[in-house]
A and B are shown apart, each in its own frame.
Chain A
């Protein structure tokens, strides 16, 4: 071709290339949101990931993590083959072994202890999304020492919601995004429901009549687009909420009718100070709670259809006791002047006028802007309602509220405020996601009071206690579980305390273990408190030279920090290479519109000697001959692996992991015989199943007859009966009574006061423990962490794309706070707590509570991990605040050191941290501290590319003619209606102007 430099060469652009050989649909695993993704495959490799427009969770959108999944899949940190440790723990020296050897070894270790004492196994599974399966494995193995990561994540929120409303913010419920008019979001670290929250906020922001208020010490992420940001002081949200309740009560702006019908507000509470029944609900012989009927002038069954319950007053009972409606107790508490806006303004950092205004806005939207849907529905008592009337106020809260030692009570307070406004599961309010609401609290109870050799547990290890009788404690009242869950130290620890397992196993407190078996939990690094201490616990030896934690088995897909501390490593696949199920038995992907579940299936074949962890667990179960894992003849019951289990396992007759396409003909939903074609049906449908509720079952689910009948058919509720919201919590009072000396099971002396104090049946607020203990000491600032949205809940920031966005973290600090300390922007500082100090660089901002500093979490990495270069900023500049957080609280009187957790649920109190900041000396800058020796790299890991040219060989092939480009308008409905309103207004205005002009003219004419 001759080239004329004066002539422009015209480019032929292929406008209609075929980008894929094949497009498959599966489910994302880059976070806990679990969206549908379309996987574009080219030459057997993943070319592109796109949100599945048909999927109920993400409806076509995909977040940064989801798109970057391709780089997780291609990561050079992917483990290649089973590994056996050959060096010391923590060095990362391994040799490769075959799977048979690995599984033989694991089953030998596990079989040995199962034959002696199964509780010598601690099995903890991190960010596992198959807990109904892993929990069942633990149960069949016979160890009570099982949990996943909920205890260090969000158990306060989950438990508070489940003990109050039978559902909870985030995972078990969501705002009615389409109809809500006032949305309040509480706390940092709020991005658990990644895409639905973003889409929802986008909708609210697009509607003129809706307001979004963010209550958050940090104005990052969502708070930046909030219509109002309230920069609250960490740990004081409870006071703020009490003050809102105070204002609403004072103004009588609460939904009395809804409280009377749908909550236990009118239930009579026995007043019998010193008695064993004090503070319990008055019940009839059948156990029914009672109300006082004002019209009839008598005490009657609170669950009757027709009643006129008293909400206040004191009623003498025939036997001489008195009883009061629980609402009176609630009202008395929050009417108290200690919760007046003026009284809490200083502590919360929120001006009294702002608290009053927010209360007024809540009241206005709830009571003057009702949302009415013309859909008749029938309640559980058989009464027909012509309309669905809603109070369009909704809340969302997550770990920012949860991860304080006062989190359980604060979480309950927010759920209660939602109920006081009458906006639970109503149009425009906060709505339950299927299969919630459940009984309050849901069954079953934690199993494992006794364990014995070669014997399964009587039930599942995790559950919801309703009184001291459900605790797992010995005859002296001491903990039985390795994490001390369900003990007097943390009675309602429904998700266990994963953050305490390694420390307790090392200390042999309350027991020693033989094998620590973990999955997908980076416990030697960013998932532990006191990281340096945890490394010590993992590597410490006894006098005989044996590790104090004798054996560690770990499964992970990547060379994370924790790998180096394992004795035996079982390499997992990426999420594109295996079967998975996102089950209604577990952590479902349902929405408030209806139930949904989903699968993953292998869209590409592994190119290394790795196996899906679930397959490995089935294999181990069969080798150990665990009941349920083998048939009568001892042969593996699910020889086809996890997909075999997903289809054929039945937890109860007809109820299995997947709800869709059950029954022999595939036509049953929820209940039905296993269908061999089930996986095929899922794949045909885009790897998910969903079923919208009919319009008359969309709301009021707790008392909606049609809904409850359906929920019962689906196996979500044991009985078709109303689910009455428990504002006043009787289980809490039962623990308190035990502390007061009642009942067979009472706390050991040293726990009595704590139980009595913190098991208040109505929410209380107290100073977070760390701050309380440190009074008078010089740690004046709160220190918080959050994950950036592009890494939230995501595993492995070795991701080649995401680390280009964030590869190290800085400490964000208010300008004024820094100024007072003589600190300037970009200065390096020491961040010191009572547990140690770390070094980092500051970034000064104004969008933060001045008494708070914060940073991005889990950006800092240990040298040598994740196949990152030794000079990667993740380890040279990135820092973890985990080093500063002690897993134990300072000693109380008597020397007892409790875990650094909520006293009710055992939730890790990450956000209680208090620090002081000191400017580094000039010679100390440019590198973070503490530094650790570099971890070794397993043998035969792939090379790390110096240049990555992803996509170069995956370009499309020209095919077909171009089509016309189309407009794409996000939130089209809302945008169009806003535009329509605008043009209507313009037309009206024009008409008005013309009319006015006409008037003028006529006047003018007259004047003429």
Chain B
């Protein structure tokens, strides 16, 4: 019921999240909460913060799970940060009855206008990623703003002009840039590493990309049938031959 921008945004600001590196430390989630608690969508209300069911608004949540291959039994522990993907075809926007949920033409960021949001939650039903956060206390839907109040902010030093989740990530698992520009570094990283869309079958065309885990060169070369081994210089049970060799070793 709300239109996406008539002119498709050329600039597509978004995140590139490296699942090969993310250690699941929650740094991005907490710093995001802290910045945004006093930011564009302030506050990020916490209900019952010291009680039985503490429940607050978070724009970014980290899920840790095991992916198990049922046949081989091989498995992997995955740390998976999830926030709004700022989709090109954002169903959360088109479903909005009031125009509160909108996509910015100038950079593709999807935002919620708290003044016109009626808290109907249609957008959270429409979003296949569960990336919307309803603030019960305020009766308003909230979500990742891509730190729209940081990235252009002339009051901040340049080193802070990126989304909080990106600047704070200790492992360096998060990049930020224009994914609409094929010559940008983020686009190059995505191309090189085979970055993927989350749930492409949903047809949302997300801007954010995930970089899959990769195999290192040292392991690529590994011939599993014949594991690398060192050549023993002496196979006596106590290694006496080696000790004898070393007696005359000249070292200086």
- Asked if A58 contacts B170 (CB within 8 A), the reply is yes
Q: What separation, in Å, do the CA atoms of A959 and B219 have in the docked complex?
A: 53
From the candidates B116, B137, B184, name the one contacting A947 in the complex (CB within 8 A): B137
Given contacts A963-B161, A967-B184, contact A360 B229 (CB under 8 A): yes
**Cβ contacts under 8 Å, B119 to chain A:** none
**Residues of B contacting A210 with CB < 8 Å?**
216
Taking CB atoms, residues of chain B closer than 8 Å to A982 are 192
A515 to B174, CA, bound (A): 52
Task: Tell me the count of chain A residues lying within 8 A, CB to CB, of chain B.
Answer: 140
Knowing A227-B216, A969-B177, A979-B185 touch, does A311 contact B251 (C-beta < 8 A)?
Answer: yes
Q: Are A61 and B46 in contact (CB under 8 A)?
A: no
**Is residue B82 within 8 Å, beta carbon to beta carbon, of the partner chain?**
no
Residues in B with CB closer than 8 Å to A952 are 38, 42-43
Asked if B27 is at the interface of the complex by the 8 Å CB criterion, the answer is yes
Q: Do the beta carbons of A800 and B44 come within 8 Å of each other?
A: no
What is the CB-to-nearest-CB distance from B139 to chain A, in angstroms, rounded to a whole number? 13
B175→A970 contact, CB < 8 A: yes
**Chain B: number of interface residues, binned into ranges:** 35 or more
> Known contacts A947-B46, A969-B177: does B242 contact A252 (CB below 8 Å)?
yes
**B158 — nearest CB in chain A belongs to which residue?**
A966
A798 to B49, CA, bound (A): 9
Q: Is A368 among interface residues, defined by CB-CB distance under 8 A? A: no
Given contacts A332-B243, A336-B238, A951-B44, contact A260 B170 (CB under 8 A): no
Minimum distance in angstroms from B161 CB to a CB of chain A: 6
Among B31, B178, B237, the residue within 8 A (CB) of A62 is B31
A-chain residues with CB within 8 Å of residue B76 when the two chains form the complex: 224, 847
Are A9 and B116 closer than 8 Å at their CB atoms? yes
> How many residue pairs at the A-B interface have CB separations less than 8 Å?
394
- A64, A260, A951, A978: the one contacting B26 at CB < 8 Å is A64
A789-B153 contact given A357-B229, A951-B43, CB 8 Å threshold: no
Instruction: Using A15-B149, A70-B34, A979-B188 as known contacts, say yes or no to A357 and B51 having CB atoms under 8 A apart.
Output: no
Residue contact A965 to B152, C-beta cutoff 8 Å: yes
Interface string of A203-238 (1 = CB under 8 A from B): 101101111000000011111110110000000000
Residue of B nearest to A258 (CB): B251
Which one of B16-24, B83-91, B120-128, B198-206 contacts A?
Answer: B16-24
B212 at the binding interface (Cβ < 8 Å): no
CB of B191, distance to nearest CB on chain A (Å): 9
Residues of chain B contacted by A872 (CB below 8 angstroms): 50-52
Q: How far is the CB of A56 from chain B (nearest CB, A)?
A: 14
Nearest-neighbor residue (CB-CB) of A77 within chain B? B50
B229: A residues at CB distance < 8 A:
356-357, 360
A337 and B238 within 8 A (CB): yes
**Residue of A199, A359, A868 touching B50 (CB-CB under 8 A):** A868
Question: A933 at interface (Cβ–Cβ under 8 A)?
Answer: no
Interface flag for A894 (CB, 8 Å) = no
Chain B contacts for A64, CB-based, 8 A = 25-27, 29-31
Report B47-75 CB contacts with A as 1/0, cut-off 8 Å. Answer: 11111101110100010101010000101
Query: Is A13's beta carbon under 8 Å from chain B?
Result: yes
Tell me if B7 counts as interface (CB < 8 A to partner A). no
Closest chain-B Cβ to A262's Cβ sits at a distance in Å of 12
B168 adjacent to A208 (CB under 8 Å): no
27 contacts between A and B (CB under 8 A): A9-B99, A11-B113, A13-B149, A60-B159, A61-B168, A198-B23, A198-B25, A224-B23, A224-B24, A225-B22, A248-B230, A250-B230, A312-B246, A331-B243, A798-B50, A800-B49, A944-B50, A946-B51, A947-B45, A949-B45, A951-B44, A954-B42, A964-B152, A967-B185, A968-B166, A970-B169, A982-B192
Interface of B toward A, CB cutoff 8 Å: 2-3, 13, 20-27, 29-31, 33-40, 42-52, 54-56, 58, 62, 64, 66, 68, 73, 75-79, 98-99, 102, 107, 111, 113, 115-116, 137, 148-149, 151-164, 166-178, 184-186, 188-189, 192, 213, 216-219, 222, 227-235, 237-239, 242-244, 246-252
Ranked nearest first, the 5 interchain pairs of A and B with the lowest CB-CB distance are A335-B239, A951-B37, A970-B172, A8-B99, A251-B230
Interface on A for B, CB 8 Å cutoff? 5, 8-9, 11, 13-19, 42, 47-51, 53, 58, 60-68, 70, 76, 194-195, 198-199, 201-203, 205-206, 208-211, 219-225, 227-228, 247-253, 256-257, 260-261, 266, 294-295, 306-313, 327-328, 331-332, 335-337, 353-354, 356-357, 359-361, 363-364, 789-790, 798, 800-805, 807, 845-847, 867-869, 871-873, 876, 944-952, 954-956, 959-971, 975-976, 978-979, 982
